[in-house]
A and B are shown apart, each in its own frame.
Chain A
């Protein structure tokens, strides 16, 4: 693809993007049967039963906690929750769909008309969400090459089916075509992922398919009302690839239109290795799914008390939390976002605040976004950090009882070993000397030992103070309160003049 030709595409064309996200819900059992959802890494076809295999005569039963996940999501995206909803069959044939239909919600989704607001590089942006509904996942086809057998059977390509995923609870969340840039699309997906994790609806790991993002992308000349022909883009398995695939697709379509070609409805996949989209299948017409109400399941009625209970259980949502950090705690928008985006960081920050040591929130936030995030970056766990200990350390720093440099070392050791910070400080003798009498003796010693520097200072070379401070710190093995040392030095030197 000639990138040059597409350069500036966004000046001439406007992209119109809608996002469909499928999230595997965090429930103990599958959507319509009692099978465990712990299928990650399980042997193929080890987590299935007559119901999720679609054997003759089986019937679905509703997993209430999956319904609650979707209702909770509905509240979180400010959607309308349907007091009565129902299930529909989506009929199509594919070998990984054992019943020949998927139980889904077509006419009456659990949640509709929601919205989600998030930060972008160009400021806050709100996407309208058309619907969030519940459905069941399919099995998985695995295309494999079987080796030639010693008996002479030639090597052959086979398709194997793993039904472990069949019947896993899935929530589908569909936006309106409100998104205009690849960045917005990525930020929307990131914010939704954060929301899912915050309310506990889904672990939403893209890498293992718990969260699947599909984008419908079209472009139109700027200023035109009507939409262009949309292309569905799939197979994006990271947030970064969401942004790149959409960017690529916008450029590709611009080049095609500029060259006078017609865009046809099709489904394209993102090739991570080649960093481009490729044709998966054309979409000649809308698929014929013969939707009709699922006769095996009665309509689902959500009584107001149940809805109220689900709403009351919702934790503080990311937007509200960011707002509180900024308004009530005085954190910068950046720090607030960094903390809220990271569940472990949020827990650490909230825990440290709760310890109520008197350390300022902003100082704690600096430690969380600074040292903590630096040290745990790229590591599997969050270390052995204890929020109360972090709060205690921050308080010592605030009180000038430990130097910033020493505090960082203490924190690193604490993160590593889990040892209480007081004991680490004790062990290393890091407690800062803020006692004027003790400091005075050290100052006198250093002045006596460095007459040249004293002379320099008196000759007007103010930088000599820095040297003398360094000497005092050295003499006290870093324990002296540097600010107090400097003040004491100046006072002593100026007085003796």
Chain B
């Protein structure tokens, strides 16, 4: 469980991040990693309640300026923390089960994207149409987190129904990037990414349909992993595109991401598309020592797909990615250029398949049984049209229309069927790389660093291009991870590693190795540049910034609080 390594060392937090605990005095619990929290919780040096209090305080104080959270449930979080403390105490008692039997997440605060069902709580999916809906059941991910003993602090902001790359398409206002509050955190899991980057939680759950975990992780300077399709149960996760959606962790390092992935993965009888593939316990055992971690790179064959270094990529991003690749090469990895010839078709096929599935998945929001309903007309067809017309935001409506068109009789073969065929070609491109014996593909996560709020929201295609490097991975159902690879103009750049199916452990070991070889890089010591501003109550909220940007016009109706 990684404990052996840590017990050899006196307690310390990661390099330079102040707030750690010199001499046993813990000054800022929010800077701890999950693997550090787990050790302290087990020894009893820190309580889950103290962790929850510290994180709740930070989230409560800074959410005004970030809008990363749609709901913070203090009461429930403290109750869960107290329950975790009882479990920890119970297992520490002589004759108890022993702390080693507990999951390292026991007592650790987590955040959930607001499309994860939690019994008795909201699940808006960032949409007005699900306002007022209370989930009567736990998602499988929620149930597994509870089983592990994780402490759910609340629900994070997101693009409506996960459709977007900036979190600006939330019905509840945009989320700010803690590196630059005028910029987007990426999306759609922007709230989950910002909350982790801002130390409100050490880890959070996001979903990734075309890049929605990796791209915001990249833009917020954290780790984000999209598992192999079928690795994590989708039961209870509000669906966007069923054949592409995957649930995964956002974290501040590879070890924490691995721990969260371990807790939520595995076959679930309630999701017929979840795979009966064993979840390796080694996920809990990524090397603590940098030397051991770095040694994993020796002899690894890494593929560099030429199609991913495209026009439109910012030079700073390309430079950081090439530097990262060079560093891994220097550490013993073998780098070869490869071709993924159908990459260019990824975006076009994705924007047939994902909207097609979404148009059907979102048909259930009809105002009949739950959620927002406009019953003013008295005629059910008219009520249905009003409910959906008012309840959905413009991006969601755009995709419903795209998808409805693509599935219509006479167009189905030309669009949906053809897109599925191209999808198999995209997958075949990747298969050829694995057949050639490569361990992973290295690519940028996002062609650009975090962009200013408002820059792409009126230009759907520009927004869609944010995911050009990530969505082929969803099309092929592969695991992909974004890890911080330095800064460009003061903003984080993400390196994407893509692996063969079910090779999450290998991806995370590579990610851990890259962390190890860059452990002494100066950028690793930096916290988000504008995080300190979020402590100031006079800092404008993202909604206020949005209103100011649109020349003093009052915040639009899209800023409802859930």
Q: Which residues of A contact B (CB under 8 A)?
A: 50, 53-62, 89, 91, 93, 95, 98-101, 159, 161, 286, 288, 290-292, 295-298
- Whether A288 and B409, one on each chain, are in contact in the complex, defined by CB atoms closer than 8 angstroms, is yes
Candidates B115, B130, B364; contact of A98 at CB < 8 Å? B364
How far is it, in angstroms, between the C-alpha of A327 and the C-alpha of B373 when the chains are bound?
66
Decide: A290 near B369, CB < 8 A? Known: A57-B115, A93-B363, A100-B364.
Answer: no
Residues of B within 8 A of A295 (CB): 241-243, 273, 357
Candidates A91, A286, A292, A296; contact of B363 at CB < 8 Å? A91
- Whether B370 and A93, one on each chain, are in contact in the complex, defined by CB atoms closer than 8 angstroms, is no
- Whether B236 and A292, one on each chain, are in contact in the complex, defined by CB atoms closer than 8 angstroms, is no
Nearest chain A CB to B346 CB, angstrom units: 18
Q: Which residue on chain B has the smallest CB distance to residue A62?
A: B272
Candidates B115, B136, B363; contact of A50 at CB < 8 Å? B136
Residues of B within 8 A of A53 (CB): 369
How far is it, in angstroms, between the C-alpha of A496 and the C-alpha of B162 when the chains are bound?
112
Decide: A57 near B364, CB < 8 A? Known: A50-B136, A297-B272, A298-B273.
Answer: no
- Whether B270 and A59, one on each chain, are in contact in the complex, defined by CB atoms closer than 8 angstroms, is yes
8 pairs of A and B residues whose beta carbons are closest in the complex: A100-B363, A295-B242, A290-B407, A295-B243, A57-B236, A56-B238, A99-B364, A100-B364
Render B97-124 as a binary contact track against A, CB cut-off 8 A, 1 for contact.
Answer: 0000000000000000001010000010
| Contact-residue bracket for chain B | 35 or more
* B:199-244 near A, CB below 8 Å: 234-239, 241-243
Q: Which residue on chain A has the smallest CB distance to residue B234?
A: A59
Residues of B within 8 A of A62 (CB): 272
Residues of B within 8 A of A99 (CB): 363-364
Q: List 25 A-B contacts (CB under 8 A).
A: A55-B137, A56-B135, A56-B364, A59-B270, A59-B271, A61-B269, A61-B270, A89-B360, A91-B359, A91-B407, A93-B363, A93-B384, A98-B369, A100-B364, A101-B360, A286-B409, A288-B409, A290-B359, A290-B407, A290-B408, A292-B357, A292-B416, A295-B243, A297-B273, A298-B273
The A-B contact count (CB < 8 A) is 100
How far is it, in angstroms, between the C-alpha of A199 and the C-alpha of B141 when the chains are bound?
41
Nearest chain A CB to B265 CB, angstrom units: 17
- Whether A91 and B236, one on each chain, are in contact in the complex, defined by CB atoms closer than 8 angstroms, is no
Candidates A54, A56, A100, A296; contact of B123 at CB < 8 Å? A56
Q: Report if B380 contacts A (CB, 8 A).
A: yes
Nearest chain A CB to B71 CB, angstrom units: 16
Decide: A56 near B360, CB < 8 A? Known: A290-B407, A296-B273.
Answer: no
- Whether B125 and A56, one on each chain, are in contact in the complex, defined by CB atoms closer than 8 angstroms, is yes
- Whether B272 and A298, one on each chain, are in contact in the complex, defined by CB atoms closer than 8 angstroms, is yes
Candidates B239, B242, B380; contact of A95 at CB < 8 Å? B380
How far is it, in angstroms, between the C-alpha of A55 and the C-alpha of B238 when the chains are bound?
9
Residues of A within 8 A of B242 (CB): 295-296
- Whether B135 and A161, one on each chain, are in contact in the complex, defined by CB atoms closer than 8 angstroms, is no
Residues of B within 8 A of A58 (CB): 235-236
Nearest chain B CB to A386 CB, angstrom units: 45
Decide: A292 near B360, CB < 8 A? Known: A57-B238, A95-B368.
Answer: yes
- Whether A288 and B125, one on each chain, are in contact in the complex, defined by CB atoms closer than 8 angstroms, is no
Q: Report if B345 contacts A (CB, 8 A).
A: no
Residues of B within 8 A of A93 (CB): 363, 366, 384
Residues of B within 8 A of A286 (CB): 409
Sample of 18 further A-B pairs with CB below 8 A, known A99-B364, A161-B369, A292-B360:
A55-B137, A56-B117, A56-B130, A60-B272, A61-B269, A62-B272, A93-B366, A98-B369, A101-B360, A101-B363, A161-B368, A286-B409, A288-B409, A290-B407, A290-B409, A291-B412, A295-B273, A297-B273
Q: Report if B351 contacts A (CB, 8 A).
A: no
Residues of A within 8 A of B237 (CB): 57
How far is it, in angstroms, between the C-alpha of A98 and the C-alpha of B366 when the chains are bound?
8
Q: Which residue on chain B has the smallest CB distance to residue A91?
A: B360
Q: Which residue on chain A has the smallest CB distance to residue B403?
A: A290
Q: Report if B325 contacts A (CB, 8 A).
A: no
Q: Report if B328 contacts A (CB, 8 A).
A: no
- Whether A59 and B272, one on each chain, are in contact in the complex, defined by CB atoms closer than 8 angstroms, is yes
Q: Main secondary structure on chain B at its contact with chain A?
A: loop
Nearest chain B CB to A390 CB, angstrom units: 49
Q: Which residues of B contact A (CB under 8 A)?
A: 115, 117, 123, 125, 130, 133, 135-137, 139, 234-239, 241-243, 269-273, 356-357, 359-360, 362-364, 366, 368-370, 380, 384, 404, 407-409, 412, 416
- Name the residue among A59, A161, A288 with the largest chain B CB count within 10 angstroms: A59
- Whether B370 and A55, one on each chain, are in contact in the complex, defined by CB atoms closer than 8 angstroms, is yes
How far is it, in angstroms, between the C-alpha of A290 and the C-alpha of B359 when the chains are bound?
10
Decide: A57 near B366, CB < 8 A? Known: A91-B407, A290-B407, A295-B243.
Answer: no
Residues of B within 8 A of A95 (CB): 366, 368, 380
Candidates B136, B239, B356, B408; contact of A288 at CB < 8 Å? B408
Q: Which residue on chain B has the smallest CB distance to residue A32?
A: B272
- Whether A54 and B272, one on each chain, are in contact in the complex, defined by CB atoms closer than 8 angstroms, is no
How far is it, in angstroms, between the C-alpha of A223 and the C-alpha of B384 when the chains are bound?
49
Q: Which residue on chain A has the smallest CB distance to residue B235?
A: A59
How far is it, in angstroms, between the C-alpha of A57 and the C-alpha of B143 when the chains are bound?
14
How far is it, in angstroms, between the C-alpha of A290 and the C-alpha of B403 when the chains are bound?
10
- Whether A56 and B270, one on each chain, are in contact in the complex, defined by CB atoms closer than 8 angstroms, is no
Residues of B within 8 A of A101 (CB): 360, 363
- Whether B363 and A57, one on each chain, are in contact in the complex, defined by CB atoms closer than 8 angstroms, is no
- Name the residue among B115, B269, B404, B407 with the largest chain A CB count within 10 angstroms: B407
Q: Which residue on chain A has the smallest CB distance to residue B125?
A: A56
Residues of A within 8 A of B235 (CB): 57-59
- Whether B272 and A61, one on each chain, are in contact in the complex, defined by CB atoms closer than 8 angstroms, is yes
How far is it, in angstroms, between the C-alpha of A95 and the C-alpha of B363 when the chains are bound?
11
Candidates A91, A98, A291, A296; contact of B272 at CB < 8 Å? A296
How far is it, in angstroms, between the C-alpha of A5 and the C-alpha of B271 when the chains are bound?
60
- Whether B408 and A55, one on each chain, are in contact in the complex, defined by CB atoms closer than 8 angstroms, is no
Nearest chain B CB to A62 CB, angstrom units: 7
